[in-house]
Amino acid sequence: MIIAIDGPAGSGKSTVAREVAKRLDLRYLDTGAMYRTITLLALEADLIPDRIAEAEDIAAHTDIRFQQQENDLNQVFIGEREVSNEIRGPLVSKYVSPVSADAGVRRVLTALQRVEAAKGDLVMEGRDMGTVVVPQAEVKIYLNATARERARRRQLQFREQGIEQPLEEILVDLERRDAYDSGRDVAPLCKAVDALEIDSTNLTISQVVEAICQEAARHADKD
């Protein structure tokens, strides 16, 4: 079974996807971390903002490696260099949308994601899983929450990394990113017509996971 979870930044996709994968004994692929890794390398190579198109070459020649941990968090490596925290920082968050919108970068990473999907039994989360990467997925979820709630979650995430950022500043960045991701020409963020939409604003992680697992069970019963 392939479960595709899409949604805007801060909606809880990564946390929920990991828990769903654990509960259903499926593999988990954090596609957002792939785009964030390329963004980090593009920043380090001074390709942002004027030479983003050159990031395609970085994507094509970068060994992105995930390592599962006992706490269900994936460590992200570039070769032997761990970048798990670096790719979640404010600067990468600010620029990941334009890098993700680059057609060349997206072409390279989409191909890699489809290779993983072809192996089966996978939970994938991102912006265009159910609409572009794996439109054949048995279960499609569109996970959402209010912009303010998503900003609050992102603020807590930054705080855990020792970074303090005002809520209103994060909110402005999220709303800007929402508009950019939804309006881009290549693989825009949108709900697949056959996706189940879940508003997680007032739900716990466990409640969202339960809803997705019930949807997966419903599809399994069909087969």
pLDDT in tens, 121-158: 999 999 999 999 999 999 999 999 999 999 999 999 89
CATH of domain 2-216: 3.40.50.300
In three-state secondary structure terms, 138 is: coil
Per-residue tokens: 31: 């596609």
Amino acid (one-letter) located at 172: V
pLDDT at 145: 97
pLDDT at 73: 60
Integer Cα distance of 19 and 9 in angstroms: 18
Chain-centroid distance of CA 50 in Å reads 24
What are the residues whose beta carbons fall under 8 Å from the beta carbon of 81, sequence distance 6 or more? none
pLDDT at 221: 85
| pLDDT confidence bin for 222, thresholds 50/70/90 | confident
| pLDDT confidence bin for 72, thresholds 50/70/90 | low
